[in-house]
Structure 1
Amino acid sequence: MRILSPALVRRRSPFSLVFGFIAAFLLLSPAAHGQPANDPFAANGKSSSWSVTLGAGAAFRPTFEGSDRYFVSPVPFVSINYNDMISLDTSGLNAYWRKDGLQIGGGVTYNLGRFQDGNSVFTQGDERLNGLGNIPVAMGLRAFANYKLGPVVLGATLTKYLAEGNNGLLIDGLVEMPVRLGDRTTITGRLFATWADESYMQTWFGVTPGQSLTSGYGIYQAGSGVKNVGLGINLRHRLGTSWILSADARLLRLTGSAEYSPMTVSDMNMNFLAMVGYRF
């Protein structure tokens, strides 16, 4: 496994760096199509209608899906919740309604795309993708539902990206169970899977005849199906009245057309995020 330092990555245009910083401030995950980052059934512990958390940390992730190289990037963090109805967090901007064990909502998100010749501080990429072309930044619409069944939370999210050249459809499924360890610490275990349509799979894992000529990879038609399955664990610890320490680790296995893509070097990827935040 090769780790790349942000200091060694190729220079990008000022627009790309500024946009990447803003995007990372709102969406720290490589693909922001999952569930809202906030525990959908956790009380914010504040008498005010507003709950705001600001923080910073670092993320460790592959240079692209299917890569065996990893890089570390700084991660600014923000999470804002208003009246338990509207949230802005690492999944995007969401509006939702909930009653008892059910939460239903929707919102907007985006995907940062991919560079063909290297990664920036926040955006994935690798020179082994040369000739495949860049995948553009895309805005996305999303709908989600969570249901709390005893100690277990079941979740599903549908995300549709809207950019030309990055307009795929994703459906995420999630099962998670939080376990409280005392008054300050919560550990949450997760199982998840993602289904992707043909447009998404071809964009990220396929090779067209033109791309084959410029990249050297063989022509590959990627089809729809389950893109990945995985498991994760999240640790949240309150350091005091307002300070919060969070760590999140995920192990993901590519499946179907993603696993057999000619650009996939490793079908196992991992992601790790550590963050300290202050809740107002």
Structure 2
Amino acid sequence: MKRLLAIALLAMPMATVAAAQDFSVDLGIGVTGKPVYPGAEDAEAAPWLIWRNARFGAAGEGDKQGFSVSPSFNMVGERKAEDDAALKDMKDIERAYELGAKVSYGAGPMTAYGSLRKGFEGHSGITGEIGAKYRTDLSDRITLWSGLELGYGDSDYNSTYFGVSPAEAIDSVYGEYKPGGGINSAAIKFQARYAINDRTAILGEVEYGKLIGDAGDSPVVQEEWQPSLRLGVVRRFSFGF
């Protein structure tokens, strides 16, 4: 059932662009400095698997203009009680994989977007983002983006990462907590890309976010402000249909 749902989620954006002949995406790897878990006070270094600029139609350097629909993928790392003293006697959460779709609208240097994804393994909820970003070309090789983004999670998603179950309330120092669904984060984001050649680039990102709503009120959250830093290398892959 999970496999069929994953295929259906990926098929949605493909069906809307059946006339497209090409698909391209930037894939890469790097390192990220981020909170140990969502809401942690301490930070850690971890691998960064990069999925960016998935698009149908001819590949290009500029942000796509007008409306576009593309697949959306994300991976959330596992959370273990041994990762942080604040998680003592809390249940472990497996690595989660998220599949869904992203809708964007580009107008000149501005792009607005919204995404929605279904989780598998670590969580089974619905999550996504809405936001907008502004592109600045400093040269033929250097491009900057700055933007604002709001994160969303339904009650299943928020309960997984910010809730305290009755069993956990008995074992841990936290009282039972069941968050509802809704906007759970707000962030300012900056991204820089240096093109080594037509297909390969160095990518850097800085994000300064805050957990809000029921997520921010969670007793598991030790720090509402959640900064992160990422640096990696990406390569554009193109596929014809």
In the alignment, which residue of structure 2 is the partner of 1:11?
Answer: none
- Residue 274 (structure 1) shift: 1.1
- Residue 78 (structure 1) shift: 7.2
- Residue 221 (structure 1) shift: 1.9
Matched, 1:138 2:111: no
Structure 1: 5+ residue runs without aligned partners?
Answer: 1-48, 87-98, 119-125
Matches for 1:165-244 after TM superposition, within 5 Å: 166-240=123-197, 243-244=200-201
- Residue 217 (structure 1) shift: 0.9
Counterpart amino acid of residue 175 in structure 2: G
Counterpart amino acid of residue 132 in structure 1: M
Structure 2 distance, partners of 1:222, 1:50, is 39
User: CA 1:214 to 1:85, structure 2 compared with 1: closer, same or farther past 3 Å?
Assistant: farther
Structure 1 distance, partners of 2:199, 2:182, is 43
| Equivalent pairs, count | 213
Residues 212-270 of structure 1: CA deviation (Å, up to 9, x unaligned): 11111112121222100011100111245665222100011100111111111110011
Structure 1 distance, partners of 2:106, 2:51, is 25
In the alignment, which residue of structure 1 is the partner of 2:3?
Answer: none
Counterpart amino acid of residue 115 in structure 1: K
Structure 2: 5+ residue runs without aligned partners?
Answer: 1-21
Counterpart amino acid of residue 144 in structure 1: K
Structure 1 distance, partners of 2:178, 2:25, is 45
- Residue 111 (structure 1) shift: 3.3
Structure 2 distance, partners of 1:81, 1:154, is 15
In the alignment, which residue of structure 1 is the partner of 2:78?
Answer: 113
Structure 2 distance, partners of 1:169, 1:76, is 21
Structure 2 SS opposite 1:117:
helix
- Residue 75 (structure 1) shift: 4.0
Structure 2 distance, partners of 1:129, 1:142, is 30
Q: What is the RMSD computed on CA atoms of the aligned residues?
A: 3.0
More strand by share: 2
Structure 1 SS opposite 2:91:
coil
Matches for 1:54-73 after TM superposition, within 5 Å: 56-73=29-46
Contact 1:117 1:128 in 2 (8 A): no
**TM-score, normalising length: structure 1:** 0.66
Contact 1:156 1:174 in 2 (8 A): yes
- Residue 196 (structure 1) shift: 1.4
Structure 2 distance, partners of 1:168, 1:64, is 18
Structure 2 distance, partners of 1:279, 1:199, is 34
- Residue 55 (structure 1) shift: 5.1
Structure 1 distance, partners of 2:44, 2:134, is 29
Structure 2 distance, partners of 1:85, 1:241, is 14
Structure 2 distance, partners of 1:80, 1:71, is 26
**TM-score, normalising length: structure 2:** 0.76
Contact 2:54 2:70 in 1 (8 A): no
Higher RCO (C-alpha 8 Å, min separation 6): 2
Structure 1 distance, partners of 2:100, 2:157, is 15
- Residue 181 (structure 1) shift: 0.6
User: CA 1:249 to 1:105, structure 2 compared with 1: closer, same or farther past 3 Å?
Assistant: same
User: CA 1:70 to 1:237, structure 2 compared with 1: closer, same or farther past 3 Å?
Assistant: same
Structure 2 SS opposite 1:276:
strand
- Residue 145 (structure 1) shift: 0.4
Structure 2 distance, partners of 1:52, 1:104, is 13
User: CA 1:245 to 1:223, structure 2 compared with 1: closer, same or farther past 3 Å?
Assistant: same
